[in-house]
Amino acid sequence: MTQQQERGRIFVVEAPRRYAVLLNARAKAWTGEVHEAVQRFVPARDLYLTDDFRQAQTTVERILAQDYDVVFTGGGDGTIMFLINAIEAAVQAGKIRREDAPPVGVLRLGTGNAVASYVGAGPIIEDLRALHAGAPLKVHEVNMVEDGEHRFPFGGFGWDADILNDYDRFKAAVRDTALENFATGLGGYALSIGTRTIPKATVRGSRRARFTNLGEVAYELDEHGSIVREVGPGELLYDGPMKITSSASIPYWGFKIRMFPYANLKPGFFELRSYHGSISRILMDLPGFWKGEVEEGKLGDWLVSRVEVEVEEATSYQVAGDAAGYRQKVEWSLSQHPSLLAVPLQ
């Protein structure tokens, strides 16, 4: 399979004439040293900092009005997706034409960095140095998953969302303390799972879920990623217990964890993955679980273009690693128009 088939279209364009850099100053990697280094390569007029990306809508609108060739951003997957969704909202509202919308440049400055890993972003200072020196851009066309409110590279119900919600609460609890650096790394992630998520999941158990194919065709996969069944429109994909149900259009789930190995298996489809096994098995081999190495018959994988997921009761929900409340029913579909994600070519 070629790179284009696996990852969508990738093309190279000339060095940007003008580019903006929008950064989340609350990201773990944002330090005085990084700030000083960034200022060496980005003119003050083109550098935008925010402490809270969710309140940065006016900043994004100001940037879009200035006709930049590309807008770079960093601070984790949520930061990148905020900008992607803000640009898409501007297109949908008719504020800018789709063909005039700038690509989103991806900088590695955050905790999970699933998107940065996917497009091959390097260390932030090295990438900014390359941009300053006139490096061309490698642009990836990446179809996202949509739920009617957001577009995102991965999202999900249940324990998947609980992990991320609990991790956010854990980080908030130790913010501005001696534990903050530990909490915002993989160690804090694992500690949050062990002390918060797993005890709750053990008590709660599974929830019943139904997955219905709303696309023209969907494919059920075996544990090796081979197609074992075609599912027609309106047909049931699954009806049974679940602890995690996720969708993804890229393989990664932060920290370079390849939780969705079949997300790019077939153009025009994303991966639907559901797990209903035991918590104790996960505890014995968490890295194996993240790679899909679980007890036989407890993990289901499908390739879908549009699917309805219904859970028996409202369940925690997350998109791109950010809490998104509770949902009982959601419709996921592959975005009609891909997002353009850029990194400097080195």
CATH number of the domain residue 316 falls in = 2.60.200.40
The reported pLDDT for the residue numbered 278 is: 72
Q: Are residues 134 and 108 in the same domain?
A: yes
Distance, in Å, from the CA atom of 217 to the CA atom of 234, rounded to the nearest integer, reads 9
∠ CA 152-154-155, rounded to 5°: 95
Total of domains in the chain: 2
Residues 136 and 182 in one domain: no
CATH number of the domain residue 108 falls in? 3.40.50.10330
For the chain, which ranges sit under pLDDT 70?
1-8, 25-32, 52-55, 110-112, 159-161, 163-165, 167-172, 174-205, 254-255, 279-287, 289-295
- Considering the domain architecture, whether residues 109 and 11 belong to the same structural domain is answered as yes
Q: Are residues 156 and 130 in the same domain?
A: no
pLDDT for 1 equals 30
- On whether both 132 and 208 belong to a single domain, the answer is no
Angle at 142 between CA 88 and CA 266, to 5 degrees: 135
Q: What is the spatial distance between Cα 339 and Cα 79, in angstroms, rounded to a whole number?
A: 15
Give pLDDT tens digits for 147-205: 999 999 999 987 656 766 676 666 667 666 666 555 555 566 666 666 566 666 555 66
Do residues 114 and 96 both lie within one domain? yes
Please compute, for residue 276, the number of CA atoms within 13 A of its CA located in the half-sphere on the CB side. Answer: 15
Residue 157 and residue 38 share a domain: no
CA distance linking residue 69 with residue 174, whole number of Å: 39
159 and 293 housed in the same domain: yes
Residues 162 and 127 occupy one common structural domain: no
73 and 187 both lie in a single domain: no
| Beta strand pairing call for 218-221 and 207-213 | unpaired
The pLDDT value recorded for residue 253 is: 77
What is the reported pTM? 0.83
pLDDT at 23: 86
- 131 and 183 within one domain: no
Shared domain for 174 and 158, answered yes or no, is yes
Containing structural domain, residue 196: 151-334
